[in-house]
Structure 1
Amino acid sequence: MLDKVKKFTRKRPFLSLFLIFILTLPVTLHFLFWGLVALKAPNYQGEIVSDKLTSKVTVIRDEAGIPHIVAGDAKSAYFALGYTMAQDRIFQMELQRRIGKGELTEIFGEKLIPTDQFLKSLLLKKTAEEYANQKEHIYPEAWNQLDWFLEGVNHFLSEDNLPIEYTILGIKPKPFDRVDAISFLFYMGFSFAEGIKSDSLYTIMESELKGRSASELFPRYDFETNATILETQPGVQRLAKAKDFYLEKQRKEISSPNRSKIQDVTNLKQLVSFVGQLQLPIEPLEGSNSWLVGPSRSESGGAVLANDPHIALSNPGAWYEAYIEYPGYENYGYFLSIIPFPLIAHNREKAWGLTMLEQDDVNLYLETIDGSKFKSGTGWKDLTYYRDPIRRKDGTEIPFEVGITNHGPLITEHITGFKGRPVSLYWAHHHLQNPLLDVLFQMGKSKSFTELDSASSMIGAPGLNFSYADKNGNIAYYAVGRFPILKSGNSRKILEGSTGENDVIGYVPAKNNPKIINPKNGIIVTANNQVTNKALPGLGKPEGNWQPPDRFQRLVGILETKEKWSLEELAAIQNDTVSSFAPEYLDLILSAVKDAKTPNGKKVLGILKTWNFEHFPESQGAAVYDVFFYITLRELLIDEMGTANFELYGDIAEYWNAYRHFVRNPDSTFWDDLRTEGITESRDDILKRAVEETGRYLENHVSASPSLWTWKNLYKIKHPHPLGVLPVIGGIFDIGPLPSAGGAEVVNNLKYKLMKEDWTAFAGPSKRRVIDYGRFEESVTQLPIGNSGNLASPFYGNLVEEYINGVHRKILYSKEQVGEGRFRLEFRPR
C-alpha cells in the first residue's frame, strides 16, 4: 500500500505537497499559536518608569507568583499594584467591568444581549455612577488611591503586552475608570440567582401543587435544631427540638392549585428559566466557611482565624493574592482584581475573613402597570426610567430602557415572550447608602476590632459574616449588611406590589446586628447557616437564603472534640470531606432496606454499609452515596414538580434543607408517587426503589463493573475560562476537569449541579487560609490555580495540584521570608 502512495505522489507532485501541508498543518498551527502566546508574556523583571510615580517601588514575586509590593508612598504603591495586577489579570478585569456595566455583547456578540439587558436592569452602572460622581466622599483619600491604581492599570495598557484573549476576540481595551471598578464591586454584592429563583419557584409550586404543602419544599430552617450561629457554637448547650407547631403550619398550608393565578405562574417559569440560563463569565459569591479559635483553645496560645470563601470556580480565579506596604500601611490581602483594597486581609496586628450572611435582602413584587404609571396603595405613581444603550461588536447600538417602581427595576421587561404581570426587584442596595469603596479603604487602615466594626457597619448590601482575630488574642464575629423589615407578607415568595401592604418599611439598625466577642467557649463557627433563631428589633426571627446546616454542624462537631488545636490541625479541617448527614441518613436507609433484588442493588447496599462518609477520589462509598442521594430525591419529587421545576429547584439551597426534613419525616405526603394510581408509596418503598435505581445508574453512567464505581470516575472539578467554549483552542484555556477530593455540603464544599446530573464541580473554596497569631510567620494558605490568568505566565495554573491535594503553602510575609524571590520589577519616577 505504501508503495502505491509513493508512486501516486511521484506522478502528482502538487498533490504530494498538499498532502504534506495537510498532515503538518496541526503542528504548524500549534507552534504558531504558542509562539504568539510567548510574545505576549508579561514582563516580571526590569524597570518601569513613569511621571505618575513619586517614589521608588519594588515588586518581588515569590516562588508561587505572589507579588510583594514595597513603596515609598501610597501613590506609587497603588500605581504599582494596578500595573502588577494588570500583568496577570487584565482580561479578567476587562470582563469584570463589562459585567458590571452590561457590556458583554460588544466583545462576545449578540447571544449576550439578554445577559446585558439583565445586568443593566440591576442598575449596577447607574448606582456606580451616582456613587463615583458624588461631590463629597466619606474618605476622599480612598478615591485618590483608586485613581492611582487605575493609572497603573492604564499604564500597562499603553506599554505592555496584552494577553492572547484580546487577539482572539479582536478587541482593543479602553482605559479603565472609577465606574468600571465600582460597577463590578456592586455586582459581587448581588447574589441574585438564589433570591429570584427561590421566590419565583415557591410561588409557582404553591399554585401548582395539589394535596401538598409548598412550605415543605422551602423550609429554610423551620425544622432544624443546633444550627444557628449565635446559639450553637462548640461547647454551647444545644437547643430544644423543633416544636410541633411547624408540623401544624405545614398541614394548614396544604392546598389545591390556584386557578386564578395560573397565567402569572406560567410567565414566572419564564423568569426563573431566563435567570438560570444567563451567560455570566464571572459568578458572584456562593457561600463560605469560617472559624475562629481563641488563645484558650489554640496550642500556640494565639488567636487563630480560618476562612475559605466559596465562589464559582473559574480561570483565572476570584482572588488576587498580594502583599502591599508603604509608610503607615501594610496588608497581605485577597483582592478583586479591579479594586485596590483587599476584601480579606491580615497583617501583624489583625486578620479578618468573610462569609455570606445570606439574609433576605432581595424581594420580588408583582406590579400593576398602566402606561407609564404603577399602582402603589390607593394611588398611582409615575415610573422612572434608566436608559443605557447596548453596543454591538460592529459599534451600532441597541436602545435599552428599564422602568423603575418604588420597589425597584422591572426585571421582566426584556424577557422575550414574557406576557404576565411585570415583576420588580427590590434589593437593599438600591434603597440605602452603600459606600463599599470607602468601607474597604477604611477596613484596610483600621487598627482594632472597634475600628473594623465601625467601618464595615456602613455596608448596606450585601450581608456578610465577618470573622476577626488579632495579636492581642481577641476573636469576634459580627454580621454586616441591613435586614429589611416588611410591613407584612411572606418574603419566601413573590409579593403583591400594588397594595403597599408588603413594602419594606425600615431596616434593623446596624448596631443591633448579631455579634459575638470573645466567647467563653473560645471558638466561633460560621458557614452561611441561620444567624439566629431569636428576634431582631422590629423584625422578629430573620429570614434568609440560609445554606444547609451540614457544614456548620460538621465544623462544630469537630471543634468541640478537643480542648486545644494546632495550626496544622485547623488547616487540615479545611480539606475535610465527611458528610455530616450521612451517618443519620444511612442508619435510616439500612434499617428500611434490608436486602436488594438485583446484584447491583446488593452491591449498592454493601458499599454503603462499609463507607466511612468521606469524599476522596478512590472512594466507592462517595460515588454510591451521592448517586443514591440524587436518585431518592428524584423519585421523591419529580412527580410533584416535573422535570423543568425539579432542575430549577436544584439551583437553590432549599432542596438540601427540604431533603433533610423529608428523610426524617415518613409521614410526608410527598413520599407517595403520583404516577402510580391506586398505590400509596411509603418512605421505605421509595428508598427500596432508589437502591435498585442507583445500581442501574452507576452501571450506565460509570461502569458495568462495580469495582470502578469510584468518586474519581464520577466526579471532577474544573476551572473554566470564558474562552473555553471556543472550538479547537478553547480547551487550552480551561484547567481541568480533574479528579479531586470534595463534594457538596462537606467542609471542602466543591458543589456540582445535582438535578442536572452534571457531576463536575462548578463552585468551591476560592482560597483557603489559616492565620495563627501564636505562630504568625507559619500561617498558611491555598489559592486554587494560582495568581496569573495570562497563558504566557510561568504562574498560569501553577498551584492547581496543591489545591486538588489539599496542600497549604506558607504565607511569606516578612522581607526575610520573601528574600530575593523569583522575579524583581523596579518602578521609579521619570
Structure 2
Amino acid sequence: MIHSIKKYIHKRPLLSLLFLLILTLPITLHFVFWGLVSLKAPRYQGEIRSDKLTSKATVIRDEVGIPHIVGEDAKSAYFALGFTMAQDRIFQMELQRRIGKGELTEIFGEKLIPSDQFLKSLLLKQTAEIYANQTKHIYPEAWEQLDWFLEGVNHFLETEPLPIEYTILGIKPRPFDRVDAISFLFYMGFSFAEGIKSDSLYSIMESELVDRSASELFPRYDFEPNASILESQPGFKKLTSNLPIPNVNPKNDLKGSEIKSSLSRSNKDITNLKQLVTFVSSLNLPIEPLEGSNSWLVGPSRSASGGAVLANDPHIALSNPGAWYEAYIEYPGYENYGYFLSIIPFPLIAHNRDKAWGLTMLEQDDVNLYMETIEAGKYKSGSNWKDLTYYKDEIKQKDGTKIPFEVAITNHGPIITEHIKGYKGRPVSLYWAHHHLDNPLLDVLYKMGKSKSFQELDSASSMIGAPGLNFSYADKNGNIAYYAVGRFPILKSGNPRKILEGSTGENDVIGYVPSKDNPKIINPKNGIIVTANNLVTSGRLPGLGKPEGNWQPPDRFQRLVGILETQEKWSLEELAAIQNDTVSSFAPEYLEILFSSVKEPKTLGGKKVLEILKNWNFEHFPESQGAAVYDVFFYITMKELLIDEMGPEHFELYGDMAEYWNAYRRFIRNPNSNYWDDLRTVGTLETRTDILNRSIELTARYLEKNVSASPSLWKWKNLYKIKHPHPLGVLPLIGGVFNIGPLPSAGGAEVVNNLKYKLMKEDWTAMAGPSKRRVIDYGRFEESVTQLPIGNSGNLGSPFYGNLVDDYINGVHRKILYSKSQVGDGKYRLEFQPK
C-alpha cells in the first residue's frame, strides 16, 4: 500500500510537492512559532538608558526569577519596577486595563460586548478618572510614584519586543496611564458577584417554592456555633483531635431568620430576574474576583522561634500568569518584599524587617440590588421623583467602529439590567459601597508600605471604603493584630438576603458603621488569630446589629483552629505544612451520620463505596480513593436533595455560591427538613435515610461511568486536576501551549489547601486556589518561606515561565531571599542608567 502511494506521487511531481508540504507544515509552523517566541523573550541582562531616569537602579533576578530592585532614588526604583513588570506581565497588564475600563471587545471581538457593557456599568473607569484627575491627593507622592512606574512600563513598550500574544491578536498597545491602573485596582474590589447572584436566586426561589423555605437554602451562619473570628479563636492546648495533623514534610505522591422586605413581586418580575441571573452567570470575564483566603498569626508565646509569625494564602481564580507579581524593591528610606498587582507599583501584601501584613476577604455585605420604578427619565424615591443621571462612554470594536454606551444611575447606583438582551422587567440597580464612599485605594497602598507600626497600618487601611478585607499583621517587636477594613452599610429596614424594593425609600442605606468600630483583635492572650472568610462576629456592631455577609463555609476556619489548639508552640516548618493541609473537617461528622443511617448496599459498587468511606483518613491526596468517593458522594447527595426543588439551571447557579456548602451542613444535621422529600416521586415521602442510601448507589454508578469500572482506580488523581488557564488557551491548535495543566494535585474544596472546582457543573478541574503562600517568622526572619503557583513570568520566551508549578503542586515552600547576602549575584543583572 505504501509502495503504491510512493509510485503514484513519483509520477506526479506537483502532487509530490504538495504532499511534502502537508507533511512538513506542522514542523515548519512549530519552528516559526517558537522562533518568534524566542525573538520576543525578555532581556534580563545588560543596560537600560532613559532620560526619565535621575539616577542608577539595579535589578538582580534570583534563581527562580524574583527581581530584587535597588534604586539610588525613588524615581529610578519605580521606573525599574515598571519596566521589570512589563518584561514579564505586559500582556496581563493589557488585559487588566481593558477589564477595568470595559475595553475587551476591541481585541477579542463582538462576543465580549455584553462583558464590556457590564464592566462599564460598574463605573470603574468613571471613578478612576475622578481620582486620577484630582488636583489634590491625600498623598501626592503616591501619584507621582505611580507616574514614574508607568514611565518604566511605557519605556518597555517603546524599546522592547512585545510578547507573542500581541502578534497573534494583531494589536499594538498604547501607552499606559493613571486611569488604566486605577480602573483595574477598583476592579479588584469586585468581590460582589456572589451577592448579585445570591440575592437574585433567593428572590426567585422564594417565589417558586411550595412547602419549602428559601431561608434553608441561604442560611449563612444562622446555625453555626464556634465559627466567628472575634469569638472562636484557638485556645492554648487541646490534645483531643480525631483528625490527622499535617506532617512537617507532607509527602505528596506527585514529585437564620428571614428579614421581611417591602418588595412585592409579580410573576413577570420573577421571570425577568431569571434573565438577570442568567446574564450575570454567563459573563465572560478573563479575571475572576477573589475566592477566599486563609490567614493566621502566632504570637511570641506560641511560636518556637520566640518571634511573631504571619501565615497567609489568599485564594483567587487560577490563571496564567498568576494573580501576584513577586518582587523586592528598595531605595533610600524604603524597602519592601511584596506581592503586587502587575499594574500597580505598591504591594497589596508585603513584609520587611520591621513588619509583615497579609489579607483575606472580609465578605461583609456591601452590595444590594434594588428594583426601581422609572418613568420619563425620573426614578421614584419615597414620595419624590428624581432625575436619573447618566454615564456615557463608547465601546470600540476590532474594526475601529464604535458603539455608543450609556448607563442610567439612581440614588442607589447604576442600572445593570439596561443592556441585558431581552430583559423587559423592572430595572434593577446595583448599590455598591465603592460608589458612595471615598475610596482612595492607591493612597492607602502607598501609606501601608510606608507605615512603621500596626497603629499606622490600621490608620491607613481604615480609609478603604470597599472592598471589605481582613488584615493580618505581625512585626519584629512581637505584636500580632487583626483588623477588619471596609465599611458595613446600615439599611433603614435591615439587610435581607434578596432583592429590595427601591421606590419606597424604606430599604435605603442610611449610614455606615464607623471605621473605628470595625472588629479588631490586638495581641490576644491566647497568642493566635485565625481568619478564613468566616463570620466576623456573632455579636452586634454599633448601629448595625449582627453583620450580614457572603461568609465562606466555616470548614477551613474550624480546621485551622482545631490544628492550632493541639500544641502550645509552633515552628516555621510546622506552620508552612499547615498551608498544604487537605483534611475535610466536616467529613467525620457527615460520615458518622451516614454510617448510622445507611443500610447494607444492594450492589457490589455500593458496598465498595461504603467500604472506602469507612477506611478513609479524610485527606485529599492524588492517590486517595476516599477523597474521590467522598466528594462524588457529597455532590450526588446534594443533587438528590435539591434538584427537584431547584431544577438544573438554578442548581448549577447555586454551585457558584458559598451558600450551597453552608446549607448542606445544616441539611445533613436536620433530618426533619422538608427538602429531603423528593418531589419527583409522587405519593412517596422520602427521608434523609432514603436519600443517603440512594446516593450511595448513585455514587458507585457515577464513579464507574466517569472514572473507571474498577474501584481500585477510583483515585482522586483520576477525577480531580488543577489548571492555570491563559486567556488565549481557548485558541485552536496553539491554545494548549499557553495553558499550564491540567495536572494532578493534592487539595480540594473547603479544605485548607482550598483548590476549588465547579461542583454543580461536574467540572472537577480546580478553578481557584491559593494565589501564593507565605510564612514570615520574625524569630527566624531570613528563613521565612513562600510559594508562587507557576512563577513570575507570563512571557512564553522567559526561562521563568511556569518554572514553579511543580513546587506548588507538591507543596514545596522555598526560602524568601531578602538580604543582599542571600541574593548574591543572582542569575541575571540589569542596570538602569540616566541617558
If the length of structure 1 is used for normalisation, what is the TM-score? Answer: 0.97
1:594 CA displacement: 3.4
Which residue of the other structure, out of 472, 476, 500, is the alignment partner of 2:477? 472
Kindly provide the amino acid, as one letter, of the partner of residue 276 in structure 2: L
TM alignment of 1:402-417, pairs within 5 A: 402-417=407-422
Shift in CA distance, 549/89, structure 1 to aligned 2, threshold 3 Å: same
SS in structure 1 opposite 2:266? helix
Alignment of 1:672-691 (within 5 A): 672-691=677-696
Q: Distance in 2 between matches of 1:335 and 1:285?
A: 15
Q: Aligned residue for 1:208?
A: 208
Secondary structure in structure 2 of the residue aligned to 1:68: strand
> Which residue pairs with 1:758 in the alignment?
763
Farther-moved stretch of structure 1 (373-382 vs 589-598): 589-598
**Residues 470 and 773 of structure 1 are in contact (CA less than 8 Å); yes or no, is this contact kept in structure 2?**
yes
Q: Which residue pairs with 2:66 in the alignment?
A: 66
CA contact (8 A) 1:489 1:495 kept: no
Give the whole-Å Cα distance in 2 for the aligned partners of 1:499 and 1:760: 45
User: Is 1:572 equivalent to 2:577 in the alignment?
Assistant: yes
Match of 2:698 in 1: 693
- Asked whether 1:440 is paired with 2:435, we answer no
Query: Measured at CA, do residues 78 and 260 of structure 1 come closer, stay the same or move farther in structure 2, by a change above 3 Å?
Result: closer
Determine if contact 1:489/1:501 at 8 Å carries over to the other structure.
Answer: no
Map of 1:717 onto structure 2: 722
Alignment of 1:240-389 (within 5 A): 249=257, 261-389=266-394
Aligned ranges for residues 189-204 of structure 1 at < 5 Å? 189-204=189-204
Could you tell me which residue of structure 2 aligns to residue 452 of structure 1?
457
Determine if contact 1:271/1:415 at 8 Å carries over to the other structure: yes
Residue 2 of structure 1 deviates from its aligned partner by 2.7
CA distance in 1, matches of 2:515, 2:428: 29
Name the amino acid aligned to 2:11. Answer: K
Q: Paired residue for 1:655?
A: 660
Note the alpha carbon deviations across 1:720-757, whole angstroms, 9 max, x for none.
00000100000100000000000000000000000000
Aligned equivalent of 1:796, options 798, 801, 821: 801
Q: Identify the residue that residue 159 of structure 1 maps to in structure 2.
A: 159
The amino acid across from 1:158 in the alignment is E
Residue type at the aligned position of 1:482: R
Partner of 1:398: 403
Q: Which amino acid aligns with 1:108?
A: F
Q: Distance in 2 between matches of 1:724 and 1:301?
A: 47
Residue 159 of structure 1 aligns to which amino acid in structure 2? T
* Residue 118 of structure 2 corresponds to residue 118 of structure 1: yes
In the TM superposition, 1:787-826 aligns within 5 A as 787-826=792-831
CA–CA distance in 1 between the matches of 2:87 and 2:629? 45
Counterparts of 2:266 and 2:663 in 1: how far apart (Å)? 25
| Contact 1:207/1:259 (8 A) holds in 2 | no
Q: Residues 732-791 of structure 1, C-alpha deviation per residue, up to 9 Å, x if partnerless?
A: 000000000000000000000000000000000000000000000000000000000000
- Separation (CA, whole Å) in 2 of partners of 1:167 and 1:10: 39
Is the Cα–Cα contact under 8 Å of residues 231 and 532 in structure 1 kept in the other structure? Answer: yes
Measure how far apart 1:268 and its partner are.
0.8
| 2:368 alignment partner, SS class | strand
Letter in 1 for 2:234: P
Q: Is contact 1:83–1:153 with CA below 8 Å preserved after alignment?
A: yes
For the pair 1:36 / 2:36, whether they are aligned, the reply is yes
2:24 maps to which residue? 24
Shift of 1:490: 3.8
Question: Match for residue 149 of structure 2?
Answer: 149
Partner Cα distance (2:81, 2:568) in 1: 42
Which of 694, 701, 708 in structure 2 is aligned with 1:703? 708
Aligned to 1:555: 560
- Superposition CA RMSD, Å: 1.3
Poorly superposed stretches of 4+, deviation over 3 Å? none
- Contact 1:190-1:284 within 8 A present in 2 as well: yes
Corresponding position of 2:626? 621
- The alignment partner of 1:387 has SS state of strand
Structure 2 length-normalised TM: 0.97
1:788-816 per-position Cα deviation (integer Å, ceiling 9, x unaligned): 00000000000000000000000000000
- Indicate the SS of the match to 1:554: helix
Please report how far the alpha carbon of residue 18 of structure 1 lies from its aligned counterpart in structure 2 after TM superposition. 1.0
Question: Quick one: which amino acid aligns to residue 223 of structure 1?
Answer: F
State the 1:260 CA deviation: 5.2
**Partner of residue 534, structure 2:** 529
Structure 2 alignment gaps of length 5 or more: 239-255
Secondary structure of the residue aligned to 1:389 is strand
Q: Aligned-pair distance for 1:3?
A: 2.3
Q: Deviations over 1:255-309 (max 9, x none)?
A: 9xx9952211111111111111111111121110000000000000000000000
Of 605, 609, 613, the residue aligned with 1:608 is: 613
Give the letter aligned to residue 225 of structure 2: T
Structure 2 counterpart of 1:688, which letter? N
Q: What letter is aligned with 1:495?
A: L
Q: CA–CA distance in 2 between the matches of 1:766 and 1:471?
A: 26
Q: State which of 424, 427, 437 in structure 1 corresponds to 2:429.
A: 424
1:129 aligns with 2:134: no
Q: Is the 8 A contact 2:237 2:568 kept in 1?
A: no
What SS is found at the alignment partner of 1:400?
A: strand
Looking at structure 1, the residues matched to 672 and 283 of structure 2 have their Cα atoms a distance apart, in angstroms, of: 38
- SS of the aligned residue for 1:416 comes to coil
SS at match of 2:314: strand
Letter in 2 for 1:674: L
Assess if the C-alpha contact under 8 Å between 2:236 and 2:567 holds in 1: no
**166-175 or 590-599: bigger deviation:** 590-599
Counterpart position of 1:87: 87
Amino acid at match of 2:85: M
- Structure 2 counterpart of 1:631: 636
Q: Secondary structure of 2:26's match?
A: helix
C-alpha distance in 1 between matches for 2:829 and 2:333: 23
Q: Which whole-Å CA distance do the structure 1 matches of 2:374 and 2:304 have between them?
A: 63
Q: How many residues align?
A: 817
* C-alpha contact 1:571 1:770 (8 A) present in aligned 2: yes
Q: Which residue is equivalent to 1:243?
A: none
Secondary structure of residue in 2 paired with 1:167: helix
Name 1:487's counterpart in structure 2: 492
CA distance in 2, matches of 1:226, 1:260: 37
Q: Distance in 2 between matches of 1:44 and 1:161?
A: 13
Query: What is the letter of the counterpart of residue 595 of structure 2?
Result: L
Whole-angstrom distance in 2 between the partners of 1:55 and 1:346:
26
| Structure 2 residue identity aligned to 1:8 | Y
One-letter amino acid of the counterpart of residue 788, structure 1: S
Q: How far apart, CA to CA, are the structure 1 residues paired with 2:446 and 2:644?
A: 52
- CA deviations on 1:191-246 (whole Å, 9 max, x unpaired) are 131110010000000010000000000000000000000000001899xxxxxxx5
Structure-1 separation of matches of 2:673 and 2:3? 76
How far apart, CA to CA, are the structure 1 residues paired with 2:24 and 2:265? 67
Stretch of structure 1 that moved more, 56-65 or 9-18? 9-18
What stretches of structure 1 of length at least 5 have no aligned partner? Answer: 239-245
Alignment check: 8 A CA contact 1:56 1:828 kept: yes
**Could you list the per-position Cα deviations for residues 613-635 of structure 1 after superposition, in whole angstroms to 9, with x for gaps in the alignment?**
00000000000000000000000
Say which of 493, 514, 523 aligns to 2:519.
Answer: 514
Q: Which amino acid aligns with 1:666?
A: P
Letter in 1 for 2:285: L
1:147-178: CA deviations, max 9, x gaps?
Answer: 00000000000000100000000000000000
Deviation at 1:323, TM superposition (A): 0.1
> Following TM superposition, by how much is the alpha carbon of 1:5 offset from its aligned partner in structure 2, in angstroms?
2.1
Q: Check if 1:591 corresponds to 2:596.
A: yes
Equivalent residue letter for 1:398: I
Quick one: distance in 2 between partners of 1:749 and 1:141?
38
